Amino acid sequence: MLKINTQSEWIARAQAVLPAGGFGNFDPGIIIARGEGSRVWDEDGAEYIDYLIGSGPMLLGHGHPEVIEAVLEQLPKGMTFFANNSKGVELAEAIVDAVPCCEQVRFVASGGEADMYAIRLARAYTGRTKILKFEGGYHGMSAEAQMSLAPSREVNFPQAVPDSAGIPDGVAEQVLIAPFNDLEAVSNLLDEHDDIAAIMVEPLQRIVPPLPGYLQGLRDLCDKHNVLLIFDEIVTGFRLAYGGAQERYGVTPDICTLGKITGGGFPLAALGANAEIMQHFDKSRVGADGWLMQLGTLSGNPVASVAGLKTMEILRRDGTYDRLRETGRALQQMQSDALQQVGIAHRICGDETLFDIYFTNGPCRDYRSAKHDDPQRNATYNATLRAHGVFKAPGKLYPSLAITDVDLEQTRDAVQRAVASIC
């Protein structure tokens, strides 16, 4: 069999068998061959400092030796069972200990599944049908989640705009859209609609942070109107703090979803809430009419569970989050300093553990304001970073605990070149 050696050959093969030549996640013009620590290599052998880190899961870096050891110990004992296993139970216990809103959890294989079930759970518990979400908020691939995720046209709130073909018109009638960071808009919608089951929100919406008091304001409004508050912590869980955004911002939702870091790099996600809400997964307690059926072939997979357990153990060690934030501050500062020196308007938007740059003088408080004045400038900036060994998404930079001082110096050099490319 002919051995494929070059990236261009792999790209051609992908184009033949994959729609748009890719998995649907990232630029199909790059094929990653391997990752180790803070670095990844493409099929041509080009080396990059990895600030994409699998879109967030690899907080410890690639191939962390303790995680690999735990996985290799589990593999000969069994890879999946479709039955309860002790490692999955241990991981559930660790999540309950870490996350304020969780008394019980259910496992799934992806964050999108977790978000879908969280919406369904809120409806089962409240008996109501409508979901309030925020323009630009990402909650997976369900029909409800694909409402006003990235609308290309601005419409009046609370109209929902589907972002995908194949979604029935009736779905939009069950989803209300509000601008992020606007409590008055949310309050007005809750006053006008008495059939809202839940408000679903990313506590850090993509990279847009909540204004002071905003999340607590949502909590208070939900309590006032007997509406559930869902935190989508697929990204923020175990990243912003060990207890996620709930710990970082001091606000506890009714339901949360977790993923990415939770599985230590393997396919695993979860949703959790108090025991009263979670009883809807138990037919013996709520009966057939109140039962929420949920199953999945790989839910609670023991290999993913041991990877998650070891990752969480490492994250609990003293100074871990201080180091992560120190790395994030260094990455923010080097870019801001370089851009200020040449007078390029910009905003660093996000948290030290997850952020990026908007090339704008304007505010970054919601989907409509968090934009580049010149999108091409951002495209050039990111392309230059990649050309000089920095691998990241066009709109996010994920620091990891694997980043070294050498990585930071190389990144600083790439940033200087990227800034020069847009002057």
Q: At residue 344, does pLDDT exceed 60? A: yes
Sheet containing strand 47-50, strands side by side:
32-36, 39-42, 47-50, 390-391
Between the alpha carbon of residue 331 and those of residues 16, 213, 327, 335, the distances in Å are 39, 27, 6, 7
Residue 152: predicted pLDDT:
87
Q: At residue 167, does pLDDT exceed 90? A: yes
CA-based nearest residue to 177, from 156, 206, 195: 156
Beta strands in 314-396 (DSSP E): 347-351, 354-358, 390-391
Residue 166: predicted pLDDT:
96
Residue 212 tokens read as: 């002071």
Spatial distance between the Cα atoms of 417 and 411, rounded to a whole number of angstroms: 10
Q: At residue 22, does pLDDT exceed 60? A: yes
Percent of the chain scoring above 90 in pLDDT: 98
Q: At residue 1, does pLDDT exceed 60? A: no
Structural domain boundaries of the chain? Answer: 31-63+318-421, 65-315
Q: What confidence tens digit (pLDDT) does each residue in 364-373 have?
A: 999 999 999 9
Taking a C-beta distance cutoff of 8 angstroms, is the pair 101, 232 a contact? no
Residue 348, Cβ neighbours under 10 Å: how many? 18
Range 65-315 classified under CATH 3.40.50.150: no
Question: Which phi and psi (to 5°) does residue 61 adopt?
Answer: 95, 175
Helix, strand, coil tally for the chain in percent (to 5) = 40, 15, 40
Q: At residue 264, does pLDDT exceed 60? A: yes
Spatial distance between the Cα atoms of 382 and 38, rounded to a whole number of angstroms: 18
Q: Which of 125, 138, 249, 398 is catalytic?
A: 138
Mean per-residue pLDDT, 279-304: 97
Q: At residue 165, does pLDDT exceed 90? A: yes
Mean per-residue pLDDT, 275-298: 97
Q: At residue 128, does pLDDT exceed 60? A: yes
Q: At residue 249, does pLDDT exceed 90? A: yes
Which residues, other chains included, contact 52 with Cβ-Cβ below 8 Å and sequence gap of 6+? Answer: 26, 391, 392, 393, 396, 398
Fold (topology level) of 31-63+318-421: Aspartate Aminotransferase, domain 1 (3.90.1150)
Higher-confidence residue of 41 and 5: namely 41
Residue 5: predicted pLDDT:
80
Residue 51: predicted pLDDT:
98
Q: At residue 3, does pLDDT exceed 90? A: no
Q: Which of 260, 321, 351, 367 is catalytic?
A: 260
Instruction: Kindly report whether the global pTM for this prediction surpasses the value 0.95.
Output: yes
CA-based nearest residue to 415, from 341, 345, 334: 334
Mean per-residue pLDDT, 20-31: 96
Q: Which amino acid is at 242?
A: Y
Q: At residue 2, does pLDDT exceed 80? A: no
Q: At residue 390, does pLDDT exceed 70? A: yes
Q: What confidence tens digit (pLDDT) does each residue in 29-56 have?
A: 999 999 999 999 999 999 999 999 999 9
Residue 260 designated active-site: yes
Q: What confidence tens digit (pLDDT) does each residue in 85-120 have?
A: 999 999 999 999 999 999 999 999 999 999 999 999
Between the alpha carbon of residue 188 and those of residues 120, 177, 197, 306, 404, the distances in Å are 24, 12, 16, 45, 48
Q: Which amino acid is at 418?
A: A
Percent of the chain scoring above 70 in pLDDT: 99
CA-based nearest residue to 268, from 231, 232, 301: 301
Residue 117: predicted pLDDT:
98
Question: What is the pLDDT confidence band of residue 4, given thresholds at 50, 70 and 90?
Answer: low
- Reduced to 3 states (helix: H, G, I; strand: E, B; else coil), residue 251 is coil
Residue 256 tokens read as: 């949360």
Q: Which of 232, 351, 356, 366 is catalytic?
A: 232
Taking a C-beta distance cutoff of 8 angstroms, is the pair 272, 105 a contact? yes
Spatial distance between the Cα atoms of 144 and 146, rounded to a whole number of angstroms: 5
Question: What is the pLDDT confidence band of residue 338, given thresholds at 50, 70 and 90?
Answer: very high
Residue 105 tokens read as: 């959890």
Mean per-residue pLDDT, 221-228: 98
Between the alpha carbon of residue 389 and those of residues 34, 134, 169, the distances in Å are 15, 35, 45
CA-based nearest residue to 388, from 418, 422, 358, 414: 414
